[in-house]
Amino acid sequence: MSSTPQTCGHAHDDAAYVLGALSPAERLEFERHLATCDPCTRSIRSLAGLPGLLDLVDASVLEDPPDDPPLPTTLLPSLTRVVEARGRRRTVVIAGLAAAAAAVVALGVPLALHRDDAPAVSGPGTSAPSTAGQDQVETHVMAPQGDVPVEATLGLEQVTWGTKMLLTCTYDKDAIGVELPEHVDYLLYVTDAHGHSEQVGSWTSVSGTTMTVPAATSVTRDELSAVEVRTPDGRVVLRLDA
């Protein structure tokens, strides 16, 4: 999925970052890397709409996948031959690497002992100073557009490639005294400073249940003009003037 050159050490982190699959430490390291890597930044921008697209996938496709075709009877013998050949090559390579590593250690240790600028190493019971920053996440309450049975708060986080969003939404079909269905579909839209709108997420609300919906857009926080929750027929039920 990544379009980043494979020579980059973070070439496969772009999609995981957009989908929120990186740990906090990995995410911080990757965001620092983005500040100096144009290919990774471009790749992140191209994947910004991925969470919204995944929301559109029919869940039944994942719950009831088609049966896999039977494997050919010749597959296992072929795999066995390949594994045996790779095992022999791996043994030769490991032996060569071990010899090279021993030579490097033998040459490097005397040099390290004579360096005046060698960094101090923390011992047991001590800790090195941390340079980790804290995420700047804004949390806003979205304004209802009329008498609607839905409430939501929206978290906005500026990142190198655009804006990450986390919507927390509650639907209560009995809140306004009108007969409503148990399930309602909603769409999340963003509008930039030039008036261009795009869908970045969708979900089905269940009455009495709080939904957490992650989303992302390539629109930067400064260029973000508004965020809206809409019904499929285009009616705006919640709005945030960003």
Q: Give the best-scoring range by mean pLDDT among 12-26, 85-99, 163-177, 224-238.
A: 224-238
Contacts of residue 121, Cβ cutoff 8 Å, sequence gap at least 6: none
Instruction: Supply the pLDDT for residue 162.
Output: 94
Q: Percent of the chain having pLDDT more than 90? A: 29
Work out whether the CA dihedral 115, 120, 124, 128 comes out positive or negative.
negative
Instruction: Supply the pLDDT for residue 121.
Output: 41
What would the two tokens of residue 113 be?
A: 């002992």
Work out whether the CA dihedral 234, 238, 240, 241 comes out positive or negative.
positive
By the 10 Å C-beta count (0-12 exposed, 13-18 middle, 19+ buried), 36 is classed as exposed
H or E segment and range at residue 241: strand 236-241
What would the two tokens of residue 54 be?
A: 């995944």
Q: What is the overall mean pLDDT for the chain?
A: 77
Kindly tell me if the per-residue pLDDT of 168 is higher than 90.
yes
Least confident residue range of 102-106, 158-162, 222-226: 102-106
Long-range contacts, 177-184 (Cβ 8 Å, 24+): 178/149, 180/149, 180/207, 182/206, 182/207, 183/207, 184/150, 184/231
Contacts of residue 201, Cβ cutoff 8 Å, sequence gap at least 6: 51, 52, 55, 165, 167, 187, 188, 213, 214, 215
Secondary structure class of 41 (helix, strand, coil):
helix
Least confident residue range of 8-12, 107-111, 160-164: 107-111
For residues 232 and 205, give the distance between their C-alpha atoms in angstroms, rounded to a whole number: 13
Least confident residue range of 75-89, 102-116, 226-240: 102-116
Kindly tell me if the per-residue pLDDT of 99 is higher than 90.
no
Instruction: Supply the pLDDT for residue 200.
Output: 93
Work out whether the CA dihedral 161, 20, 227, 138 comes out positive or negative.
negative
User: What does the pLDDT average to over 194-212?
Assistant: 89
What would the two tokens of residue 110 be?
A: 């005397």
Instruction: Supply the pLDDT for residue 119.
Output: 42
Kindly tell me if the per-residue pLDDT of 227 is higher than 90.
yes
Q: Name the β-bridge partners of 151.
A: 170
Answer yes or no: are the C-beta atoms of 239 and 228 closer than 8 Å.
yes
CA nearest neighbour of 57 among 161, 201, 197, 170? 201
Q: What's the pLDDT band for 110 if we cut at 50, 70, 90?
A: low
Instruction: Supply the pLDDT for residue 90.
Output: 66
Query: Model's pTM, two decimal places?
Result: 0.47
